[in-house]
């Protein structure tokens, strides 16, 4: 349901350009900026750009930036506009790729990885709110899936583009990623809606509406533990296969391609689950499957098992985004309140993701590079997310039915 203050949906013939711009934004800022780093980790170590401990530490910089970006996204858009903020963030990611081609120091590299994370967090809280109000209600689900599909395409793209680029050299790989980001930024530059509303400010009514529903805070907590559970595979999967199992960079790249295939399937399949079973039940099923998959990863070494698990695990990071957004829409009526809750959910996710990134990095270094231990802890975090709903139910919280009004934002 669109508010009176929301823009009129664009004609059907003009819908695809804003959706394409949103897909490019998520592809550049998260799909490439975050996930292209994973297949580069072994090469960064072997080329002696940085030590193994520094490379892991630099991977966490992007996660910290994501938290900062989730916090400043709406304030930045209020000072400029959603369109301007999104364009600036895509340019920032592009510049960071080019800067990372020159490993001047750990601090230099950290700053640019941090900036790319900031851009990703800001884009995540702004992109759906920018595009979806211009899309007819009948196409919002498809549009949401297409936007977040950019994350999966970026993951898959990083697995297929990075290995050929690495054959040219590590510096050339970063420059190549920068060129790709620049092209995607350019082709999407004029695709954003012409009358994008500014970021929404919190009103007393909005805050009260959100605060009265304990299920919203349950979602925030579950989303946070999901973030903690996806970090190890997201950051260390290729290094685990290439160096931890001794399978080599080529096999590690193949497993990452499988992870990317899962990432492409994730948004569509998870969205279908939400449509068929409801977001609440879908979250339960997804968490159960992911906990098992991460646990099995810690004891698997056969290629076929790693490939299958990579597909399942790859579906999780991009797939839970539309799933959590669908849950927000189930729980909260009204476009404004939904956007506020989604922003808070993103901040919750980003906070635990950043904390987990540094915690896993410290654990990795302290354990002498023990990958399996991190996967076991990740499985535990996902189990906690699954059990939180039971804990809330046993605590005697009132049923959510009275305060839920399914709404299409």
Is residue 11 within 8 Å of 64, Cβ to Cβ?
no
Chain segment 279-298, per-residue pLDDT in tens? 889 899 999 999 999 999 98
In a domain, 384, yes or no: yes
What pLDDT, on the 0 to 100 scale, is given for residue 108?
Answer: 92
What pLDDT, on the 0 to 100 scale, is given for residue 380?
Answer: 93
In a domain, 204, yes or no: no
Its domain, for residue 252, covers 12-186+213-395
Q: What's the number of domains the chain is made of?
A: 1
- Please, which pLDDT band fits residue 4 given cuts at 50, 70 and 90? very low
CA distance 70 to 31: 16
In a domain, 167, yes or no: yes
Which residues, 6 or more positions from 261, have their beta carbon under 8 angstroms from its beta carbon?
156, 311, 314
Tell me: pLDDT of 198 over 80. no
CA distance 257 to 160: 7
Tell me: pLDDT of 97 over 90. yes
**Which helix (H) or strand (E) covers residue 89, if one does?**
helix 82-99
Quick one: tokens of 365?
Answer: 């270094």
What pLDDT, on the 0 to 100 scale, is given for residue 399?
Answer: 52
**Per-range mean pLDDT, top range of 39-43, 236-240, 285-289, 387-391:** 285-289
Tell me: pLDDT of 302 over 80. yes
Provide mean pLDDT across the span 208-217. Answer: 65
In a domain, 383, yes or no: yes
Range with the lowest mean pLDDT among 24-38, 138-152, 324-338, 378-392?
138-152
Phi-psi region of 15 (alpha: psi -120 to 50; beta: other; left: phi over 0): alpha
In a domain, 193, yes or no: no
Question: Of residues 259 and 326, which shows the higher confidence score?
Answer: 259
CA distance 293 to 118: 30
CA 343 to chain centre: 13
Q: What is the CATH number of the domain that holds 83?
A: 1.20.1250.20
What pLDDT, on the 0 to 100 scale, is given for residue 12?
Answer: 53
What pLDDT, on the 0 to 100 scale, is given for residue 269?
Answer: 83
CA distance 253 to 35: 12
CA distance 296 to 282: 21
What pLDDT, on the 0 to 100 scale, is given for residue 113?
Answer: 92
Chain segment 323-349, per-residue pLDDT in tens? 888 888 788 877 778 778 888 888 888
In a domain, 203, yes or no: no
In a domain, 223, yes or no: yes
How far apart, in Å, are the Cα atoms of 180 and each of 28, 98, 162, 174? 8, 11, 12, 10
Upper half-sphere CA count for residue 97 (Cβ side, 13 Å): 30
Chain segment 24-78, per-residue pLDDT in tens? 999 999 889 888 887 788 888 888 888 877 887 787 788 889 889 988 888 888 8
In a domain, 74, yes or no: yes
């Amino acid at each position: 349901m669109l508010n009176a203050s929301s823009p009129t949906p664009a004609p059907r013939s003009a819908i695809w350009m804003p959706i394409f711009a949103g897909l490019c934004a998520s592809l550049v800022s998260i799909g490439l900026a975050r996930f292209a780093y994973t297949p580069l980790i072994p090469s960064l170590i072997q080329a002696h750009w940085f030590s193994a401990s520094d490379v892991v530490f630099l991977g966490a910089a992007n996660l910290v930036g994501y938290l900062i970006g989730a916090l400043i996204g709406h304030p930045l858009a209020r000072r400029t506009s959603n369109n301007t903020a999104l364009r600036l963030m895509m340019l920032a990611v592009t510049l960071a790729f080019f800067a990372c081609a020159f490993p001047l120091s750990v601090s230099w590299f950290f700053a640019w990885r941090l900036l790319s994370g900031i851009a990703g967090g800001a884009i995540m809280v702004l992109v759906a709110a920018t595009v979806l109000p211009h899309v007819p209600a009948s196409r919002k689900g498809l549009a949401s899936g297409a936007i977040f599909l950019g994350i999966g395409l970026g993951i898959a793209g990083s697995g297929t583009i990075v290995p050929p680029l690495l054959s040219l050299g590590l510096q050339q790989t970063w420059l190549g990623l920068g060129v790709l980001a620049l092209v995607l930024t350019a082709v999407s530059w004029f695709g954003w809606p012409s009358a994008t509303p500014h970021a929404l400010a919190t009103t007393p009514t909005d805050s009260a509406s959100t605060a009265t529903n304990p299920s919203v805070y349950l979602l925030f907590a579950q989303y946070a533990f999901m973030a903690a559970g996806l970090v190890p595979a997201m950051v260390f999967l290729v290094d685990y296969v290439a160096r931890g199992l001794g399978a080599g960079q080529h096999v590690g790249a193949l497993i990452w391609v499988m992870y990317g295939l899962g990432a492409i399937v994730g948004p569509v399949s998870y969205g279908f689950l939400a449509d068929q079973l409801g977001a609440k039940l879908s979250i339960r099923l997804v968490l159960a499957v992911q906990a098992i998959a991460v646990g099995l990863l810690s004891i698997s070494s056969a290629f076929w098992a790693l490939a299958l698990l990579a597909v399942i695990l790859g579906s999780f990071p991009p797939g839970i985004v539309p799933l959590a957004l669908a849950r927000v829409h189930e729980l909260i009526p009204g476009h404004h309140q939904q956007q506020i809750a989604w922003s808070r959910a993103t901040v919750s996710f980003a906070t635990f993701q950043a904390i987990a990134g540094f915690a896993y990095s410290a654990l990795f270094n302290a354990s002498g590079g023990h990958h399996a231990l991190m996967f076991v802890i990740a499985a535990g975090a996902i189990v906690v997310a699954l059990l939180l709903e039971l804990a809330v139910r046993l605590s005697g919280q009132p049923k959510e039915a009275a305060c839920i009004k399914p709404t299409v934002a």
